[in-house]
Amino acid sequence: MSLASDAPSLTRPNDAPSRPALDAFLAGLGEIPHETARNTVLAKSRDFFWYSPILKEQLADCAADVIVTPRSEADVIAVARLCATHRIPLTARGGGTGNYGQAVPLQGGVVLDLTGLTAIGPVIDGTVRVGAGAKLKDIDARTRPAGWELRMFPSTYRTATIGGFVAGGSGGVGGITYGGLSERGSIAALRIVTLEAEPQIIELRGADALRVHHAYGTNGIITELEIPLAPAQPWVDLAVSFADFAQLGRFCLELARTDGIMKKLVTAVEWPIPRYFNTLQATLPDGASLGLFMIAGASLEPFFELVALFGGDVVYRQTDVEVAAAGMVPIYEYTWNHTTLQLLKRDKDVTYLQSAFPSLERVAELGRMLGDEMIMHLEFVRAHGEIGIRALQIIRYTTAERLNEIIRIHEENGCPVYNPHTYLIEAGGMKVTDPAQLAFKRRADPLGLLNPGKMSGWTPE
């Protein structure tokens, strides 16, 4: 519950900070901007966890006691010191666009809204140093005139922050060329503040950054990042319809393998998903599955050649410049987790999974096994030098038991599921606690106050 009211809908967790501790914390904040107004606190205590009917139930009542919005790293350090002193939990937040409750405080306390740390430095050696709260789209806007752009971003590109992406995400658009955030070379450095009576600043470079990447802010407050970029080039948004989803899959795999076609996005959605894409200015035949692509201008001609070879029909084509000028919806907002969002806007009975498939044949087999309960959505990526077939399949939701059964069916058939219906880091994908992340939490958060409850492997010493 918020400090501002005792709304009965919110049950304050037993392990939430005491009122005297909170009062002392608030008194210590001084001029650091903060909000305890109920509406603000509730709004900033949520992310997009409601995609999951399970998380929606589990996290509905969670709320911070106060939202603190640091203006600088010095403010972050001051807040960390106060939290350590008064034993106040701290959950860091960027744009709040995560889907797993990454930014939802389970034990009240502080939500640290980092969207004020918006600095974007110059591009040096193809790398940019940015504040954790810089929006992805703003980074590109700043670096493109210098000839550089982000290598990868989530479909929430227009609202997400770089810090939130690195702390809570794993990859997305661009992954078909550069792999995911955990690939060596994707993150140059992270600068974090520890939660201690005397907070330290630690810079983690290269592979060391993986200690904090995708740890949901449980083992350090990211304040700055150094991100390697790619040379910028013009991109074209494209949608291609195929009467047969299996044929669309084969087209996407062939496109993914074609190193001579430069691309940023290779997505395949099965009918009737495209029926929900009402803002996409494309006329689709009934029953048609849809491929969604971002292709480099220099590669359009061979792309069209491949489309013709596989019998697809180009139904939409806009350059990134045209899309921006006309205020249209960029194609990536129909892909990755935005595909799910487009459906949820009109159908509350669906949810989704996240998984990997070893082959297109296995995609077809699972489709036959699950019938109308599943509609397929594939994302093609690079995974350490190989082509990866990832799925964010739409599931018609009945019960949690059935959802778990569907997950089991996937895993028994060799399709690992990165469960988006849990707020635990480990349950989402890795299954076991990353020892490097846990060890770093002992160093950066000895009191266990950073986003408590999210790293299940953590126990106080």
Q: Please report, as ranges, the residues that interact with its own copies according to CB under 8 A.
A: 125-127, 147, 151, 177-179, 183-186, 188, 205-207, 228-234, 256-262, 296-303, 305-306, 382, 384-387
For the chain, helix, strand, coil in percent to 5 are 35, 25, 40
> Smallest gap, in angstroms, from Cβ of residue 207 to its own copies?
6
Asked whether 118 and 141 are in contact (CB, 8 A), the reply is: no
Pairing of strands 350-352, 394-396: antiparallel
Residue with smaller CB distance to its own copies, 189 or 370: 189
| Closest distance to its own copies from the beta carbon of 369 (Å) | 28
3-state secondary structure of 316: strand
**Residue 206 contacts by C-beta under 8 Å, 6 or more apart in sequence?**
184, 188, 189
Instruction: Answer yes or no: are the C-beta atoms of 89 and 452 closer than 8 Å.
Output: yes
Beta bridge partners of 225: 130, 190
Nearer to its own copies by C-beta: 170 or 342? Answer: 170
Burial zone of 426 (CB within 10 Å; 0-12 exposed, 13-18 middle, 19+ buried) = middle
User: Which residue type, as a one-letter code, is found at position 457?
Assistant: G
CB of 26 to its own copies, least distance (A): 42
Closest to 444 in 3D by CA, of 167, 114, 227? 167
Concatenating the DSSP letter of every residue in 260-302 gives TS-EEEEEEE-TTGGGG-TTS-----TT-EEEEEEEEGGGHHH
Provide the token pair at 6: 């005792």
Q: How far is the CB of 178 from its own copies (least distance, A)?
A: 5
Residue with Cβ nearer its own copies (33 or 147): 147
The H or E element spanning position 430 is none
Q: Which is nearer to its own copies, 159 or 258 (CB)?
A: 258
Query: What element of type H or E holds 411?
Result: helix 400-412
Q: What are phi and psi of 93, to 5 degrees?
A: -145, 140
| 221-231 and 235-242 beta bridge pairing | unpaired
Query: Who contacts 316 (Cβ-Cβ below 8 Å, separation ≥6)?
Result: 237, 238, 239, 280, 281, 282, 331
Alpha-carbon distance 229 to 153, whole Å?
Answer: 11
Inter-residue contact 381 to 391 (CB < 8 Å): no
Closest to its own copies by CB, 70 vs 180, is 180
Is the Cβ–Cβ distance between 117 and 72 less than 8 Å? yes
Q: Which is nearer to its own copies, 56 or 250 (by Cβ)?
A: 250
Residue 179 vs 452, nearer CB to its own copies: 179
- Quick one: 363 or 406, whose CB is closer to its own copies? 363
In angstroms, give the least distance from the CB of 311 to its own copies: 16
Q: Which CB, 302 or 367, lies closer to its own copies? A: 302
Rounded to a whole number of angstroms, the minimum distance from the CB of residue 231 to its own copies is: 3
Q: How far is the CB of 266 from its own copies (least distance, A)?
A: 12
Other Cβ atoms within 10 Å of 371 Cβ, number? 8
Minimum gap (Å) between residue 262 Cβ and its own copies:
7
Q: Decide whether 279 or 359 has the Cβ nearer to its own copies.
A: 359
The least CB distance from residue 187 to its own copies, in Å, is: 9
Smallest separation, CB 256 to its own copies (Å): 6
- Cβ 124 to its own copies shortest distance, Å: 9
Residue 32 vs 123, nearer CB to its own copies: 123
Say which residues have a Cβ less than 8 Å from residue 294's Cβ, sequence separation at least 6. Answer: 173, 235, 236, 237, 238, 263, 264, 265, 331, 332
